[in-house]
Amino acid sequence: MPRKPNTDCRRAEIITALQAVIARQGYEKASIQAIAKEAGLAPGLIHYHFKNKQEILVLLVRKLADYGQQRFEQIAAQAGSPEARLHAYLEARLGLGEGAAPDAVAAWVMIGAEAVRQKEVRDIYQQAVAQELLLLTALLGECLIAQGSDAGKAAELAAGLLAMMAGAYQLSSSAGSVMPVGYAAHAAKTYARLYLDAVPTA
C-alpha cells in the first residue's frame, strides 16, 4: 500500500521554494512554474496544495515573521533588563552570525517592493509591519518606563527604527558589498540609546 503523502512537509517545501524564487526575481515573476521548478515538483502539485500564489505568500510572510520571533526569543532568553531585550530584538532582526538568513532578508525586500504596486501583497505586508511595530513599541515602552520617562514616545521611536531596518535590509540586498560588515545592529542600538536618553524623565 503506498505511503500517504506528508502534506505539511510538502506545503513547507513549496513555501520555501517561493521564498527562494522571490529572493532572486521578485513576487511578480515567481510563477507557479518557477515555484514548482525550485521545489522539484510538478506544477499540478502546487495547485493541489494551494489555491493560488497569494495563499502561499500569506504563509511565507507568516514563516518570515515566525523566524524573526524565534530568533528574538532565543537571543533574549538571557536578557535581564528591558534594554537587553531591546538589544536582543535588534540583534535578531539586523545581526549577523548564527541564525542570520540573507535569503529571508532578500525575500522580505522583494515583498516590500511588490507591496508598493500590488494591493494583495500590500495588505499582507502591512499586517506584518503592524505586528512588528507593536512588538518594538512595547520593548521601547519598557525601556522608557524603566528610566522614568514618558512611554508615549515609544511608538515614534519604533517607527523610526523600523524605517532604519527596512533601509538596512534594502542595502544588504542591493549594495551589501560596500556597506561595513555588521554595522546595522550596532547602529540601531546606538540610535535607540541616543533617542531614549533624549526623552525627559516624567
Residue 100 belongs to domain with CATH number: 1.10.357.10
Side chain identity, residue 115: A
Looking at residue 99, what is its pLDDT?
79
Judged against a pLDDT cut of 90, whether residue 12 lies above it is answered with yes
Query: pLDDT tens for residues 132-164?
Result: 999 999 999 999 999 999 999 999 999 999 999
- Does residue 111 lie within any of the structural domains? yes
- Considering the chain, what percentage of its residues have pLDDT values greater than 90? 63
Q: Give the CA dihedral 105, 109, 122, 44, nearest 10 degrees.
A: -70
**Residue 5 pLDDT class (50, 70, 90 cuts):** low
> Which residue range forms the structural domain that includes residue 79?
58-198
- Considering the chain, what percentage of its residues have pLDDT values greater than 70? 97
- Residue 36 CB contacts under 8 Å (≥ 6 apart), including other chains: 17, 42, 43, 45, 46
Please identify which residue in the block is written with the cell numbers 512554474.
Answer: 33
- Does residue 128 lie within any of the structural domains? yes
Looking at residue 114, what is its pLDDT?
84
Query: pLDDT tens for residues 39-69?
Result: 999 999 999 999 999 899 989 988 988 888 9
**Residue 8 pLDDT class (50, 70, 90 cuts):** confident
Number of domains in the chain: 1
Please identify which residue in the block is written with the cell numbers 531596518.
Answer: 165
- Does residue 13 lie within any of the structural domains? no
**Residue 25 pLDDT class (50, 70, 90 cuts):** confident
Judged against a pLDDT cut of 60, whether residue 4 lies above it is answered with no
Pairwise CA distance, residues 63 & 57, whole Å: 10
- Does residue 1 lie within any of the structural domains? no
- Does residue 48 lie within any of the structural domains? no
Among the listed ranges 14-28, 94-108, 188-202, which one has the minimum average pLDDT value? Answer: 94-108
- Does residue 51 lie within any of the structural domains? no
List C-alpha distances in Å: 13 to 48, 63, 65, 111.
13, 12, 17, 19
Contact between residue 91 and residue 75 where contact means Cβ atoms under 8 Å apart:
yes
What SS3 class is residue 4? coil
Query: pLDDT tens for residues 113-127?
Result: 888 888 888 888 999
- Does residue 66 lie within any of the structural domains? yes
Q: Considering the entire predicted model, what is its pTM?
A: 0.86
Looking at residue 197, what is its pLDDT?
93
- Does residue 22 lie within any of the structural domains? no
